[in-house]
Amino acid sequence: MIDHHDDMDGHDVRSYSTSLLKQAFKEYYFNYTAMVEVPDAIQEREFGYSRFDGTMVRHLSIRDRNELIALLMVNVPSDVYCSVAYYTSPSRSMEEKGLKAADLIFDIDVKELKPRCSSTHDIHICAECSEPIQEGSSYTATCSRCGSRRINHVIFPCDECISLGKREVKKLVEILVDDFGVDEDNIKVYFSGNYGFHVYVKGRYTMLDAAARLEVVNYILGRGLVDALKKRYGKKRSKEKKRRKRDSKSSSRSSNSSSSRNSMHASIRKGKSDDLNSYGNGSDGSDDVYIPRPIFDGVHGWMGRIGRYLTAGDAHVSMKSIEDAILALSARVDPNVTIDMHRIFRLSGTLNSKSSLAKIQMPRLSDIDSFNPFTDACLISDREVNVYVINAPRFTLKGNQFGPYMHEEVRLPLYTASYLICKGIAYAKQPSKV
């Protein structure tokens, strides 16, 4: 986590920082036991945790709340996980666990949404010597100090990034409720503790197998809609094109616009495909497919959703505008997470070692807008400690502004110090005093 810095003994720096973090996590688990979620059917779950030395323990079964809290207090893990699945024997080996069901889960990773604000707040530091890299792109940069090309990208989420994630959550919830008929009470939304959101669906869909989960996640992503539409309407179009060619030949011969209706349609369509070309899409427009507008009207499901999004009135809709609609309306979840029923997933109420923020649940779906992870999930104490910060932008935690910092020793509240140590851009220079 902490890279060697040339004026320090790397080993000590690492162990000072780790013990400071461990101390911070321990205090959290001591003060906030009530935050730790006791999952339903706890005895059917597999638990696992990581230690600060990077090792991991899996296949644990836990009897009850007390045993869970004891595990946290005694081991002070860096990360704690619980299976999404319910097993007959959770502590046995994979082939003997006996899968009974699994929560249907969705993972929304803000990083995958490629927020535009990233460039304004993320930083890059050299993985070898911790030198801050000023270049915008981490792919082309080289460390000016040691010449290394191994660059760490450190994310400093801002409110804007978080709102992007919230928007995907809301779209997901809408599809789950409207299309899948999931009761809002069966949808649980969590901030992941770092840079994303987790959504759990309980109830009837916990019985789906992996192939069915793949279908559900493809539905939510709108994957496969475009292909099917192309298949269905693509051929017709090429017939139409031939007819149009014929029409234009005959009309040039007679130079008389007798088939005015057709040629008008053709020119509208032509205008559209020219538009597409000007956006750099669809080359000669030969693979554009135009779809009759009415098929989107007054129907349920995806087609209806697209129909409500598109502007009314047009006789045909271009494939491009359908693709845009799908992009805007689908919820961008990570498909691999949803189809993996054997995954162990971060336990709510525990700390995320990438940030030292807690994974926490939104009490009500309607609270999502007012939810602020940098306050609501920042639960480490505010006693002050000294840390050395390599580099950090300006950021806000618990309503207080910090940074920017550049190679300096700073006295910071423990929650901020942990936040920076977790991100690998700060370390403790001396043993922490308890």
- Residue 185 is a binding residue for another protein (CB under 8 A): no
- Residue 48 is a binding residue for another protein (CB under 8 A): no
Shortest spacing between CB 355 and Zn ion, in angstroms: 14
- Which of these segments, 124-132, 209-217, 343-351, 407-415, binds another protein (CB under 8 A)? 209-217
Burial of residue 363 (CB within 10 Å: 0-12, 13-18, 19+) is: exposed
Q: Which does 208 bind (CB under 5 to 8 A by kind): another protein, Zn ion, none?
A: another protein
Secondary structure tally for the chain: helices H, strands E = 12, 20
Nearest to 8 by CA among 127, 130, 176: 130
Give yes or no for a contact between 39 and 65, defined as CB atoms under 8 angstroms apart.
no
> Can you tell me which of 227, 382, 408, 409 binds another protein, judged by CB under 8 A?
227
Residue 175 CA to residue 24 CA, distance in Å, equals: 39
Q: Which does 126 bind (CB under 5 to 8 A by kind): another protein, Zn ion, none?
A: Zn ion
Q: Which does 94 bind (CB under 5 to 8 A by kind): Zn ion, another protein, none?
A: another protein
Q: Which does 354 bind (CB under 5 to 8 A by kind): another protein, Zn ion, none?
A: none
Burial of residue 1 (CB within 10 Å: 0-12, 13-18, 19+) is: middle
Residues ≥6 apart with Cβ < 8 Å to 121 = 156, 157, 158, 393, 395
- Residue 158 is a binding residue for Zn ion (CB under 5 A): yes
- Residue 396 is a binding residue for Zn ion (CB under 5 A): no
- Which of these segments, 33-41, 80-88, 156-164, 249-257, binds Zn ion (CB under 5 A)? 156-164
- Residue 334 is a binding residue for another protein (CB under 8 A): no
Active site residue 107: yes
Shortest spacing between CB 61 and another protein, in angstroms: 16
Q: Residue 395 has which token pair?
A: 């950021």
Q: Which does 161 bind (CB under 5 to 8 A by kind): another protein, Zn ion, none?
A: Zn ion
Largest interatomic CA distance in the chain: 95
107-126 residues near Zn ion, rule: CB under 5 A: 115, 117, 126
Active site residue 183: no
Instruction: Name residue 342's amino acid.
Output: H
- Which of these segments, 31-39, 191-199, 207-215, 412-420, binds another protein (CB under 8 A)? 207-215
Q: Catalytic residue among 12, 109, 275, 376, which?
A: 109
Active site residue 334: yes
- Cite the beta strand spans of 39-144 per DSSP E: 47-50, 56-60, 79-83, 85-87, 99-102, 104-109, 123-126, 132-133
3-class secondary-structure state, position 124: strand
Shortest spacing between CB 115 and Zn ion, in angstroms: 5
Give yes or no for a contact between 125 and 151, defined as CB atoms under 8 angstroms apart.
yes
Kindly provide the b/e burial profile for residues 264-296, where b requires at least 16 CB atoms within 10 angstroms of the residue's own CB: ebbeebeebbeebeeeebbeebeebbbbebeeb
Cα angle 22-24-27, degrees, rounded to a multiple of 5: 105
Q: Catalytic residue among 3, 103, 107, 122, which?
A: 107
- Residue 41 is a binding residue for another protein (CB under 8 A): no
- Residue 211 is a binding residue for another protein (CB under 8 A): yes
For tokens 């205008």, what's the residue? Answer: 271
- Residue 116 is a binding residue for another protein (CB under 8 A): no
- Cross-strand partners of 107: 198
Q: Which does 308 bind (CB under 5 to 8 A by kind): Zn ion, another protein, none?
A: none
User: What Rg do the C-alpha atoms of the chain give, in angstroms?
Assistant: 27
Give yes or no for a contact between 152 and 130, defined as CB atoms under 8 angstroms apart.
no
- Residue 295 is a binding residue for another protein (CB under 8 A): no
Q: Which does 160 bind (CB under 5 to 8 A by kind): another protein, Zn ion, none?
A: Zn ion
Residue 381 CA to residue 429 CA, distance in Å, equals: 20
Sign of the Cα pseudo-torsion (109, 112, 113, 119, in order):
positive
- For Zn ion (CB under 5 A), the number of binding residues is 13
- Which of these segments, 159-167, 215-223, 247-255, 368-376, binds another protein (CB under 8 A)? 215-223
Q: Which does 210 bind (CB under 5 to 8 A by kind): another protein, Zn ion, none?
A: another protein
- Which of these segments, 25-33, 93-101, 153-161, 259-267, binds Zn ion (CB under 5 A)? 153-161
Shortest spacing between CB 216 and Zn ion, in angstroms: 30
Q: Which residues bind another protein (CB under 8 A)?
A: 88, 93-100, 178-182, 204-205, 207-212, 214-216, 218-219, 222-225, 227-228, 231, 299-303, 339, 341-342
**Which residues are at the interface with Zn ion (CB under 5 A)?**
115, 117, 126, 128-129, 131, 143, 145-146, 148, 158, 160-161
Q: Which residues are identified as catalytic?
A: 107, 109, 334
